[in-house]
């Protein structure tokens, strides 16, 4: 997939040109309002215009402005990874937020505090063992059981049915609210879509078997969450989730902005578009066949590998390995863009790229409409817990 991904460069589209580019200090994060709205429309259409079926992960959105755009469209349930994302989501109007990360210690205590501050909302967490469950005793926080379908990152292996049944019974015995099952199959993203779908559906068959085992044990399952962006089309096409007796939700978050990777993973007929780009400038010509722009890995995330991005409208440019502030690019034929020229970069992984910026330019029809803080960037202060914060 990687070869195809970067040999077929993205063509230029005038909708991405920012008229005030000469006045913008680079590197800069640009979010295109119309494309964002388009991507939300596309996702809702794929889900039959049923907002209840989508629990987007907010590690991508990061801006309260974007979260509020979602809640205003009737999307009320979300996933997040940090207490800051949780708090910003609640401020943006979210009604039901799952912290999809195995919290322990002070971070767990902070979630309990936030749950007390927002008693009219549903806040839930993931657990995979009894010890994690016990720390939520006496709280208002709901519990999802985190399953491991092969990602091998967190969760209990879904094949351990008897162990899972016993754990869910223990959750109920502790007086905790069992909300359902969380099943993230992001490890399938590297497969071509047909193979990905076969593998995902095989896992979903086993997941449905687990739900039946819990039902037979007298434990009802309210909600089942599957699929980030890579497995989104696989979950949507799985017949077993239709009229299943539980609420099935998918949790793609990258689809809000899209990036080079997600556009390669998702069916072209969905019609997603890039909705967030990084503006950069050429700052050096170190060699005749190499240019350098101001978009190193402190700007465009390098976690997905090299190339880190695709410069729109420049098929002659290939992004090379970045350093902290520098991004060199190989010039394959043609004329190198001059020093000072603005490049519009589509990241390979948009989620951590957004997290690199303090502010985002919101653009529509080529004009900057507003500047918005990347509100959930980073984390809360390490001494946010009220028990350790002292005045003076």
What CATH number does domain 55-251 carry, 3.40.50.2300, 3.30.465.10, 3.20.20.10, 1.10.540.10?
A: 3.20.20.10
Contact 158, 148 (CB under 8 A): yes
- Cβ atoms of 147 and 207 within 8 Å: the answer is yes
**Is 376:362 a contact under the CB 8 Å cutoff?**
no
Residue appearing with tokens 């996702």? 43
Identify the three-state secondary structure at position 186: helix
Of the listed ranges 234-248, 297-311, 352-366, 375-389, the one predicted with least confidence: 375-389
For the chain, the domains span: 2-29+270-373, 55-251
> Tens digit of pLDDT for each residue in 304-347?
999 999 999 999 999 999 999 999 999 998 899 999 999 999 99
Q: What is the pLDDT of residue 390?
A: 61
CATH code 3.40.50.720 for 2-29+270-373: no
Closest CA to 155 of 131, 184, 193, 189: 184
Q: Tell me how many degrees the CA angle 103-227-345 measures, rounded to the nearest 5.
A: 90
Q: Which pLDDT tens digit goes with each residue over 63-116?
A: 999 999 999 999 999 999 999 999 999 999 999 999 999 999 999 999 999 999
- Cis check for the bond before 307: say yes or no (omega within 30 of 0): yes
* E strand spans, 176-307: 177-183, 223-226, 247-250, 276-287, 290-293
Q: Structure pTM?
A: 0.95
What pLDDT is recorded for position 299? 98
Q: How far apart are CA 151 and CA 184, in angstroms?
A: 7
Task: Give yes or no on whether 2-29+270-373 and 55-251 have one common fold.
Answer: no
Are 362 and 369 within 8 A, CB to CB? yes
Give the CA distances from residue 343 to residues 21, 31, 118, 208, 303, in Å, rounded to whole numbers and listed in that order: 10, 15, 43, 48, 21
């Amino acid at each position: 997939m990687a070869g195809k991904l970067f040999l077929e460069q993205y063509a230029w589209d005038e909708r991405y040109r920012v008229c005030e580019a000469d006045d913008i200090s680079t590197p800069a994060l640009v979010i295109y309002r119309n494309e964002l709205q388009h991507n939300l429309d596309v996702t809702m259409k794929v889900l039959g215009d049923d907002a209840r079926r989508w629990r987007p992960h907010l590690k991508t959105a990061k801006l309260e402005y974007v979260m509020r755009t979602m809640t205003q469209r009737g999307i009320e349930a979300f996933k997040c990874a940090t207490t800051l994302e949780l708090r910003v989501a609640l401020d943006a109007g979210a009604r039901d937020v799952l912290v999809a990360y195995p919290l322990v210690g002070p971070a767990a205590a902070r979630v309990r505090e936030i749950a007390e501050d927002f008693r009219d909302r549903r806040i839930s967490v993931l657990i995979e063992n009894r010890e994690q469950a016990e720390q939520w005793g006496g709280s208002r926080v709901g519990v999802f059981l985190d399953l491991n379908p092969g990602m091998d990152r967190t969760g209990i292996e879904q094949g351990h049915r008897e162990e899972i049944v016993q754990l869910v019974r223990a959750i109920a015995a502790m007086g905790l609210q069992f909300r359902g099952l969380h099943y993230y199959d992001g490890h399938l993203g590297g497969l071509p879509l047909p193979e990905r779908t076969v593998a995902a559906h095989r896992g979903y068959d086993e997941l449905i078997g687990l739900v039946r085992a819990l039902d037979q044990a007298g434990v009802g399952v309210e909600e089942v969450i599957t699929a980030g962006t890579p497995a989104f089309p696989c979950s949507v096409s799985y017949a077993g989730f239709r009229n299943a007796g539980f609420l099935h939700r998918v949790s793609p978050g990258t689809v809000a902005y899209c990036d080079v990777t997600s556009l390669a993973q998702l069916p072209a007929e969905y019609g997603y578009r890039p909705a967030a780009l990084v503006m950069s400038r050429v700052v050096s010509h170190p060699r005749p066949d190499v240019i350098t722009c101001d978009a190193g890995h402190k700007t465009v995330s390098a976690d997905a590998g090299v190339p880190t991005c695709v410069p729109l409208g420049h098929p002659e440019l290939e992004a090379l390995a970045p350093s902290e502030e520098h991004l060199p690019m190989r010039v394959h034929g043609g004329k190198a863009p001059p020093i000072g020229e603005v490049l519009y970069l589509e990241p390979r992984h948009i989620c951590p790229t957004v997290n690199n910026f303090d502010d985002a330019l919101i653009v529509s029809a080529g004009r900057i409409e507003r500047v918005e803080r990347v509100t959930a960037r980073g984390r809360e202060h390490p001494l946010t817990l009220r028990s350790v914060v002292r005045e003076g």
